[in-house]
Each structure stands twice: as C-alpha cells, then as structure tokens.
Amino acid sequence: MARPNPELIDALRRTARKLQEGAPYEWGHMGGCNCGNLAQELTKLTKAQIHAYAMQRYGDWNEQVADYCPTSYMPIDLVISEMLQAGLAIEDLKNLEKLTDRRVLARFPIEKRYLRHNHRDDVVAYLTEWAALLEDELLAKIELPKFDAVEWQPVS
C-alpha cells in the first residue's frame, strides 16, 4: 500500500475533484484513465503526453507497470518512477486501474463495494476513500506530547 503523505493524499483528492467536475475521462486512454488522471496530478504532464509516452511500449497500465524498469529511461517508466516517488507502490497502480484494493473497498458499505473500474463516479468514490484511508494512516502515526492539564507541563 502507498506510503501515506500529505502530498499524495492531496493529489488523490485533486484528481477526484477534477474528475467529479468533468475533467476528461476515458478508461481506454493511457493519459485519461484512472492511473492517467492521477499521473497528470503527480507529474504535471498532460493527458496527451502521458498517452504518447505509454504508446512507445505495448499494453495498458497493468502491462506497463508489470514491465516497469526504473533504469530503462523509457518515458512511461519515468512517469511511473515519479508516481512511485510520490509514495505509491506498483500494486497501487494495478489496483487503481481496476479499483480493486481490498483495504479501500472494505471502507465502503457492502452494497457499494462492487465498483466499476471504467465509470467516472466509481473512480471518484475510490480515489476519495483511498485518500481518507491514507489520511487515517498518517494521522495514526502522529504522536502528540501529553500535558498535565493543571500546569501545562509535559508529562513524563
């Protein structure tokens, strides 16, 4: 699972918001699908640039990720590297493309867990819940000092 960090959480929420507000979405387009839209936020590349980079090699995002090589200098591998540096894992990209991360899905009511990977509203719901999950994980790691309520002194 992704390394929770404020930048990644924000990128997930920005991607969900843009999709909800009508950003171009096309599941069969490498720059406009689930991963492609998040890649736009994380890399600041355009939909067309991401698609062009991906077309230099065969396959969809799952195949591109399976063939990922951090030292290849293939443009799509550079995109994937940037996404990984933002805190994502290879499995996250595979799960995002198909909306299949069990930890994310478990946060939905049972009757809403069957998301359609190529429907904008389901992608928005998945991204939003994933961001909330990562935020919960990040907040759980924060330990605040304990203070004595009377003297406002740290308690040892």
pTM: 0.89
> What pLDDT does 133 receive?
98
Describe the chain by its helix, strand, coil percentages, rounded to 5: 55, 0, 40
Please report, as a single letter, which amino acid is at residue 100: T
Q: Around Cβ 82, how many Cβ atoms within 10 Å?
A: 15
* Least confident segment among 13-22, 45-54, 85-94, 147-156: 147-156
Span 108-137, average pLDDT: 96
Which pLDDT tens digit goes with each residue over 60-82? 999 999 999 999 989 999 999 99
Which pLDDT tens digit goes with each residue over 21-35? 999 999 989 999 999
Q: What letter would DSSP give residue 147?
A: B
Span 101-126, average pLDDT: 96
* CA–CA dist 32, 101 (Å, integer): 20
> What pLDDT does 137 receive?
96
In this model, does residue 152 exceed pLDDT 70? Answer: no
